[in-house]
């Protein structure tokens, strides 16, 4: 009984964690970012670091919440979830400024290692097209 009481106190003292449901635009964006990071078959440490930074700052997330979002996005990527469906979801959920911000986030991850592979560029351009925004690099 005492253990349950201390567990409850511990739960109350911990900061609330963000929840990233299937309809959360942040999860859709993270899935796109993870996909574009890994699409060329190489994930540079700089890309991984940039992904974390972009998601944390772009969505004002704590470190643990950012890690949970990335883990969830990687699970979706590993399951073969359609990145084009995620882009279409974002097109329906965000205004033009929000969609542009997601494309800018994609470019930030792609260019983290200093260059963009042709396949990475193609994914960003197609995602931008699906979201109805200009795919040009920032």
What is the domain-level CATH number for residue 46?
Answer: 1.10.3680.10
Q: What is the pLDDT of residue 15?
A: 53
3-state secondary structure the chain: CHHHHHHHHHHHHCCCCCCCCCCCHHHHHHHHHHHHHHCCCCCCHHHHHHHHHHHHHHCCCCHHHHHHHHHHHHHHHHCCCCHHHHHHHHHHHCCHHHHHHHHHHHHHHHHHHCCCCHHHHHHHHHHHHHHCCCCCCC
**pTM (2 d.p.):** 0.84
Whether residue 16 lies inside any domain: the answer is: no
Report how many domains make up the chain.
1
Whether residue 2 lies inside any domain: the answer is: no
Q: What is the pLDDT of residue 10?
A: 44
Q: What is the pLDDT of residue 13?
A: 44
Kindly give the confidence (pLDDT) of every residue in the chain, 138 residues in length, as a single tens digit, with 9 standing for 90 and above. 545 544 444 444 445 567 777 889 999 999 999 999 999 898 899 999 999 999 999 999 999 999 999 999 999 999 988 999 999 999 999 999 999 999 999 999 999 989 899 999 999 999 999 999 998 877
Whether residue 19 lies inside any domain: the answer is: no
Q: What is the pLDDT of residue 4?
A: 53
Domain extent for 42: 24-131
């Amino acid at each position: 009984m005492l253990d349950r009481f201390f567990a409850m106190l511990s739960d109350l003292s911990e900061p609330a964690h963000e929840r990233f449901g299937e309809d959360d635009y942040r999860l859709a964006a993270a899935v796109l970012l993870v996909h574009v990071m890994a699409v060329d078959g190489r994930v540079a440490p700089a890309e991984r670091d940039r992904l974390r930074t972009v998601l944390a700052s772009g969505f004002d997330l704590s470190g643990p919440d950012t890690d949970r979002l990335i883990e969830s996005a990687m699970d979706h990527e590993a399951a073969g979830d359609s990145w084009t469906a995620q882009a279409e979801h974002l097109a329906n959920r965000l205004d033009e400024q929000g969609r542009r911000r997601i494309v800018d986030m994609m470019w930030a991850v792609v260019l983290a290692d200093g260059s963009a592979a042709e396949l990475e560029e193609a994914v960003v351009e197609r995602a931008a097209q699906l979201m109805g925004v200009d795919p040009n690099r920032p």
